[in-house]
Amino acid sequence: MKKPYIYFFVFFLLTFCSSKEEEIYTPVPYNLEIPALFVDKLIAPIIPADNLLTEEGVALGKKLFFDKKLSGDNTKACSSCHNPKKAFTDQQQFSAGVQGEFGSRNAMPLFNLAWNFEERFAWDGKEFGLEQQALEPVSNPIEMHANWNLVVQKLQESTEYPTLFLQAFGTSEIDAELVTKAIAQFERTLISGDSKFDKFLLGETSLTQEEQNGFNVFMDEAKGDCFHCHGSNNNPLWTDNAFHNNGLDTTFQDLGFGAVTGDPNDNGKFKSPSIRNLAFTAPYMHDGRFATLEEVITHYSEGLQKSSTIDPLMKKVNEGGVHLSPQDKNDLKAFLLSLTDREFINNPNFQE
């Protein structure tokens, strides 16, 4: 009498296990294509062990990055201020939030973020880690001004997202942590390393005389001395991702890094941005005060302002700077523009 019952029980178990297996979807590891110069010159990018890149995670992150559901009134997406055609910035001094309010910081461009080794993000370094960074703008009242619970509810009620989260993270139950994990995965794929200067370093092209002299100005401690903070041929990030007071003001309305650390010695310090893609990222500085590259170069050449926390790397501050010749200024600009990466801004993987 017992045997048929046992057979039925075994059959039931097998059927149950089999259908359960069908539900488990294994995401495909994402192959991050790292430029040869980065592989050769830099240490490995930062990919958190609890948020490895997958095809499904990156695709989901991209969809979320361009989705206006992440804003309070469904009018703004991350891409509204971080436009891929503008190296993921918006060419505005300050960006308007969903209610038309403006902040006091210029939207930062987004690329090569996985090589920010200290993992401090934003102009003032207030966010630690890309996942953490992605949390803040969504709920910031002068940015996307959304309630995370409501954002999650909107996504959960959509016809597409629960399946996409299931495929990317093994659960269709959406929460803010998974949303930011997906966005961070997409952001880590935003790699810019294919400018004319990169090709020059790879021996694939040559520089004009102006670009070569401009590079020399950049690397010359007696002239531009830009390399101590903005990378070099050996640091193709073209930034140190550190915080410096670059002599913009004598007193500070915006304390920058100092407001984050609480250390007055950090007042007036802001992150050195990469000098890649400057052709697309005007206006410049944390507050977008300079509309053109000429203004930026003139600042470093003649416009330095002394303050207690000005970086010692700023030269001849009492004279406003090192006073580059008009030729050197012109050539420096030519070199900077040789770091323009049109492949990056036109990469179809990064468009909506």
Partner 1 sequence: MLLIFLRCGKKEELDCCIFPEQFTVTLNFTHHWNGLKITPQDFNELKFTNENGERLSIERLRYLVSNISLINGKNYHFVNVGENAGTSITIPELTNASYALSFRFGFSNEDNTDGAYQDLNSASFSVPEMLGGGYHFMQFDGKYEDNNNEASGFNYHMIKAVDRTDPDNLKFEDTSFEVNLGTIVVANTTEIEIKMNLAEWFKNPNTWNLNELNSILMPNFEAQKMMRENGETVFSLGVVN
Which of 119, 210, 220, 254 lies at the binding interface for partner 1 (CB under 8 A)? 220
Which of 240, 287, 328, 331 lies at the binding interface for partner 1 (CB under 8 A)? 240
Contact 197, 341 (CB under 8 A): no
- Segment contacting partner 1 (CB under 8 A): 141-149, 163-171, 177-185, 313-321? 313-321
Inter-axis angle of helices 326-337 and 209-219, nearest 10: 100
- Segment contacting partner 1 (CB under 8 A): 34-42, 153-161, 251-259, 295-303? 34-42
- Segment contacting partner 1 (CB under 8 A): 1-9, 133-141, 178-186, 307-315? 307-315
Which of 91, 140, 235, 298 lies at the binding interface for partner 1 (CB under 8 A)? 235
Which of 99, 172, 250, 308 lies at the binding interface for partner 1 (CB under 8 A)? 308
**317 half-sphere exposure, CB direction, 13 A CA radius:** 16
- Residue 121 amino acid letter: F
Kindly list the distances between the CA atom of residue 17 and the CA atoms of 14, 63, 325, in Å, as whole numbers in the listed order.
Answer: 5, 33, 76
**Element of type H or E holding 17:** helix 2-23
Kindly list the distances between the CA atom of residue 31 and the CA atoms of 50, 121, 123, in Å, as whole numbers in the listed order.
Answer: 17, 24, 29
Give yes or no for residue 115 binding partner 1 (CB under 8 A). Answer: yes
What is the residue whose two structure tokens read 């062990």? 49
Q: Which is nearer to partner 1, 181 or 244 (CB)?
A: 244
- Residue 126 amino acid letter: K
Question: Per CB under 8 A, which of residues 38..97 are in contact with partner 1?
Answer: 40-43
Give yes or no for residue 206 binding partner 1 (CB under 8 A). Answer: no
Q: Which is nearer to partner 1, 45 or 162 (CB)?
A: 45
Inter-axis angle of helices 176-188 and 130-139, nearest 10: 120
Which of 68, 101, 117, 305 lies at the binding interface for partner 1 (CB under 8 A)? 117
Give yes or no for residue 221 binding partner 1 (CB under 8 A). Answer: yes
- Residue 262 amino acid letter: G
**Element of type H or E holding 271:** strand 270-271
Contacts of 221 (CB under 8 A, 6+ apart): none
Q: How far is the CB of 218 from partner 1 (least distance, A)?
A: 9
Q: How far is the CB of 225 from partner 1 (least distance, A)?
A: 8
Which of 314, 324, 334, 336 lies at the binding interface for partner 1 (CB under 8 A)? 314
Cα(234)–Cα(232) distance, integer angstroms: 5
Give yes or no for residue 203 binding partner 1 (CB under 8 A). Answer: no
Nearest CA to 115 out of 187, 28, 215 is that of 187
Which of 132, 139, 140, 233 lies at the binding interface for partner 1 (CB under 8 A)? 233
Which of 68, 69, 126, 228 lies at the binding interface for partner 1 (CB under 8 A)? 228
What is the residue whose two structure tokens read 């995965």? 185
**Element of type H or E holding 128:** strand 127-128
Q: How far is the CB of 43 from partner 1 (least distance, A)?
A: 5
Q: Which residues bind partner 1 (CB under 8 A)?
A: 40-43, 115, 117, 216, 219-222, 225, 227-229, 231-235, 237, 240, 265, 308-315, 317-318
